[in-house]
Amino acid sequence: MSNFINQLKEDDKKFKRRSNIIKFGIYLFLVAIFLKISYLQIPENDALLTKYDAGKSSSLIVKGERGEIIDSSGEVLAVSVLRPSIFANPRAIKDRVYYSKILSDVLKIPKEEILNKLKSKKYFVYIKRHATHEQWEKISKMNLAYVGMQLEPKRTYPHGHLAGQVLGHTDTDQKGIEGLELKYNKFLRGSAKRIEIHKDAFGKVITKSIEEIDKPNKGHDVHLTIISKYQLILEDAIAAQVKKSDAVSGFGMIMNPNTGEIYAMVSYPFFNPNNYSRYGFEKKKNLPVLNMFEPGSVMKSFLVASALNEGVIDEGAIIDCEKGVRSIGGTTIKDLNPRGKSNITEILVYSSNICASKITELMSKEKYYNYLKSFGFGAKTNINVPSEIAGILDKPEKWSEIQRANIAFGQGISVSSIQLAQALSIIANGGTFIKPYLVKLIVNSEGKVVYKGERRKGNRVLRYETSKKMRKMLKTVLQRGAKRALIEGVNASGKTGTAQFPVKGGYDKHRNVVSIIGFLPSENPQLVAVITIDYPKGKNAYGGRWAAPVFKKAMGAIWLDENNIEKVTSSGDVPSFIGRARREALAIANINNMKIKIQGSGFVQRQNPGPGEEYNLHDEIKLFLDPGI
């Protein structure tokens, strides 16, 4: 028995010994592990980290949000909005065909295109940049693994083609490529900043300092002199006429002759910068600035103004128009409406080339050249539209007799609409050169004005009397020569013109470029318009036939609008602001001495208190605006 117990004790001892050996072995391993950990963790192991630490932070340039382009009435014309860019990890996706089918259905991209992207060996491809939120919502509901989204700013033009060629466009990365977007890129773009980032093994950015990215480094907002409402009116009028006459293009602009502000600048066919890649170079051209053309008879206005100012003729002068045929230096020039002795107004009404040639001969070549120069022809207007050119105006020494005559009636010289508008403004505003401008204000993200476009008067070109005589004369010219341009309720002055399209070695006999230049009201001009239709088809392809109606339609509508500001009735009722643009609403409130509060942008949709309700002094009228175009 004791033997057995002894045996058990012996066994137990043996067990304890063996268990201790194993325990000791295990502890030995743990100590070894601890030593290895200490060896790895205690010394600064820079060599290892520099060589193999791919997760080291690196720096990233983050661009600030791009500034907005805003019209004169507060309407936003260009804005950057965050849109989901949809990406995928092709390496991880197994069922590529299924993925490409689903993504193609939602994103409306050909299936093959997506499949090709998914077959790439990359860890990251964009399936579609700047998709819509609805599209991403649909995709996210499908729970596709390895398909993700990141918000990226996309340049958006809320009004589509409105002033498209003026605005230009940016590329996918928000860099200005055309138009004001290009010219003012350095103001609009946000300042770049460097941020420390961490990337994961797939190169995706994982940063800890998100707030840093959100810090404002937004670009400046650019406020234009353009008034969307007027832009729209002129666009509609030109587009309708180009379609009606089956013309190649139509372009024109409206500006204030007293301040130089450009209210509208139109090129048709339109360009919608939202889909800029679908347009060729030609359609992106801002025609009123970049299209140099022979102006034709509209130039006679400036000839007569120069001659009057110079005193070589007076308003009562009578000149013989030679019954429509005159030979100059071996070349015969002809009039469309042959006449005998005519006064200056008649010469303009019937647009006699012969009499124009006679008038220019009353001045020296240098004299008239200097007048053309001081009207601004043959020089850039520096309107800050990319790649502006000066146009063709030869030096007077080179003028032959026939070229001198040609220039007098608008051939052999090339001008732009903006040059014409600038020159006509001198006639309209009393005789001083005024610089047209498009950018009214540049405001930084803190609301500080960094640039202010101002009325910039230049030298006096015409005496005030000359300007006054010209306003009156051109009024008659329009009344007698271009009835289609006449607007009810306001006197307008102007001159139409028709020129042939120059081709190599001569003119295209069929292609007429027809124009009208004009301003209103004749007595106290507020608006100057220059409108050109290129190549209207059919008979009577003249300025009076095709350009004049556009003038009437557009200027008429705008004039009506300018003067349609209601004065509150003595009863103190609240006027109607409905349908008004921001600028008009402010004007109405100003006239009526009322306080208003504006919410949103665009045109007034609702107001509180409503129209006709009683207005209490100190009340604030709330206006709710919405871009309705």
For another protein, the binding residues (CB under 8 A) are 11, 14-16, 18-19, 21-23, 26-27, 29-30, 32-34, 36-38, 40-42, 44-45, 48-49, 52-57, 143, 145, 198-202, 206, 208
- Closer residue to another protein in complex, CB, 201/617: 201
Q: Which H helix or E strand runs over 556?
A: helix 548-562
CB of 234 to another protein, least distance (A): 51
The 3-state secondary structure of 459-493 reads EECCCHHHHHHHHHHHHHHHHHHCHHHCCCCCCCE
- Closer residue to another protein in complex, CB, 11/171: 11
CB of 100 to another protein, least distance (A): 20
Q: What is the DSSP letter of 203?
A: S
CB of 107 to another protein, least distance (A): 19
- Closer residue to another protein in complex, CB, 112/200: 200
Q: CA of 186: how far to CAs of 27, 176, 448, 563, 619, in Å?
A: 68, 9, 16, 38, 43
**Which residues, including other chains, have CB under 8 Å from residue 179's CB and lie 6 or more apart?**
165, 166, 167, 168, 169, 273, 284, 286, 385, 386
Residue with the two structure tokens 């006027």? 575
Are 87 and 150 in contact by the 8 Å Cβ rule? The answer is yes
- Closer residue to another protein in complex, CB, 14/108: 14
- Closer residue to another protein in complex, CB, 45/540: 45
CB of 565 to another protein, least distance (A): 56
CB of 211 to another protein, least distance (A): 17
Q: Which of 280, 309, 574 has the alpha carbon at shortest distance from 462?
A: 309
Nearest-angstrom CA–CA distance, 478 and 408: 20
- Closer residue to another protein in complex, CB, 29/98: 29
- Closer residue to another protein in complex, CB, 142/325: 142
Nearest-angstrom CA–CA distance, 72 and 128: 35
Q: Which of 511, 545, 481, 500 has the alpha carbon at shortest distance from 244?
A: 545
DSSP output for 332-396: EEE-SS--SEEEHHHHHHTT-HHHHHHHHHTS-HHHHHHHHHHHTTTS------TT--------G
CB of 51 to another protein, least distance (A): 8
- Closer residue to another protein in complex, CB, 136/399: 136
- Closer residue to another protein in complex, CB, 27/464: 27
CB of 142 to another protein, least distance (A): 12
Q: What is the DSSP letter of 130?
A: S
- Closer residue to another protein in complex, CB, 61/201: 201
Amino acid identity, residue 552?
A: K
**Which residues, including other chains, have CB under 8 Å from residue 477's CB and lie 6 or more apart?**
345, 348, 349, 493, 494, 495
Ramachandran region of residue 384, left (φ > 0), alpha (ψ -120 to 50) or beta?
A: left
- Closer residue to another protein in complex, CB, 105/200: 200
CB of 104 to another protein, least distance (A): 22
CB of 97 to another protein, least distance (A): 21
Going by their DSSP bridges, the two strands 76-88 and 69-70 should be labelled as antiparallel
Q: Which of 557, 578, 556, 554 has the alpha carbon at shortest distance from 566?
A: 578
- Closer residue to another protein in complex, CB, 145/591: 145
CB of 1 to another protein, least distance (A): 16
CB of 198 to another protein, least distance (A): 6
CB of 66 to another protein, least distance (A): 30
Are 348 and 481 in contact by the 8 Å Cβ rule? The answer is yes
CB of 202 to another protein, least distance (A): 6
CB of 197 to another protein, least distance (A): 11
DSSP output for 66-116: PPPEE-TTS-EEEEEEEEEEEEE-TTT-S-HHHHHHHHHHHHT--HHHHHH
- Closer residue to another protein in complex, CB, 139/470: 139
Two structure tokens written together for 96? 């590529």
- Closer residue to another protein in complex, CB, 199/606: 199
Q: Provide long-range contacts, Cβ within 8 A and 24+ apart, for 623-627.
A: 623/577, 623/585, 623/596, 623/597, 623/598, 623/599, 624/599, 624/600, 625/582, 625/598, 625/599, 625/600, 625/601, 626/600, 626/601, 626/602, 627/75, 627/76, 627/158, 627/159, 627/601, 627/602, 627/603
CB of 4 to another protein, least distance (A): 11
Residues 566, 572, 574: CA angle, nearest 5 degrees:
55
Two structure tokens written together for 306? 């120069």
Are 237 and 229 in contact by the 8 Å Cβ rule? The answer is no
- Closer residue to another protein in complex, CB, 37/503: 37
The total of other beta-carbon atoms located within 10 Å of residue 396's CB is 18
Give Dmax over CA atoms of the chain in angstroms.
Answer: 160
CB of 150 to another protein, least distance (A): 13
- Closer residue to another protein in complex, CB, 33/629: 33
Are 36 and 171 in contact by the 8 Å Cβ rule? The answer is no
